[in-house]
Homo-oligomer: A and B are copies of this chain.
């Protein structure tokens, strides 16, 4: 749940006058995104999303994110499109914050994804990869294997509050990941956060992909590994092979998963689990217990990590060699 910055009504009217989109009818702070403040802004010409960037987003990254959104939308990815002001400039300022007006996408995020959702997501991910193969912007993945050690160290022995010996177990796991992490896999711009919250559906069809604020350059198969973790486990942390097979096979209809990518998948999935485990662990230890923000359980990702560690072949994800 977000909305951190309050927008004064006079300031908002002045802001909207920068666009030829009509009068302000309403502006409601919405509980979407955790890094930014988001408003559903209703103008005479229809609904829009107004995003104000809070302090956790580096303003230097905004041209990459907004350029990527625009490039993706132009290439047919169903994602919001940043709307330039009448001056032609997309990035604006409001209430002392960088901000942007983006198009409103219909659809709802699935709360309990089913197999058909996983198929749609697999295909959309491949289309996102393909659509941005010619995108010229670059952004390092600041939450990749080389950054995990710092995160783990920042948690220190407090990790043991969640599980006896957790700090040591995580360090040992990280030793292995650092040692075995694959290089040279096909790479490009990845979404890096394609969780159900960030995908909209209308009925059985995917209607939107949002929240490009973790996008970066990394291997495509790592993005697939993130999705396997985010979409293909049940709430009791059991892996759902049917969902994984659907996600991977639909991905494959758009972009072929190469043999090195398949072979790397178990390790990438372990790494992807480690990445979300560590950020959740850090937030868990640094968010007051009684704060109203919902702390996400790091242990969910420990279970996922251990599942992937036991995987011996990509066939266990439903992948076969042709």
* Residue ranges of A at the interface with B (Cβ–Cβ < 8 Å): 1, 3, 6-10, 12, 23-32, 40, 42, 47, 104-112, 200-202, 288, 290-293
Contact = CB atoms under 8 A, between A and B. Distances in A.
A196 to B, nearest CB: 10
Given A24-B108, A26-B200, A292-B292, 13 more contacts: A1-B1, A1-B3, A7-B111, A8-B112, A9-B109, A10-B111, A26-B104, A26-B108, A27-B108, A29-B31, A30-B40, A42-B47, A288-B288
A12 B108 contact: yes
A105 B292 CA distance: 29
Copies of this chain? 2
Task: Across the A-B interface, give the 9 residue pairs with the lowest CB-CB distance, nearest first.
Answer: A29-B31, A25-B106, A28-B30, A292-B292, A288-B290, A8-B111, A9-B108, A3-B31, A26-B106
25 contacts: A3-B31, A6-B111, A7-B111, A8-B111, A8-B112, A9-B111, A9-B201, A10-B111, A24-B108, A25-B202, A26-B104, A26-B108, A26-B200, A27-B108, A28-B30, A28-B32, A29-B30, A29-B32, A30-B30, A42-B47, A288-B290, A290-B290, A291-B291, A291-B292, A292-B293
A105 B7 CA distance: 19
Contacts of A3: 1, 31
Nearest to A7: B111
A9 B9 CA distance: 32
**Of residues A28, A32, A202, which shows the largest number of chain B Cβ atoms within 10 Å of its Cβ?**
A28
B31 A30 contact: yes
Contacts of A111: 6-10
Contacts of A7: 111
A38 to B, nearest CB: 9
Nearest to A196: B9
Nearest to A110: B9
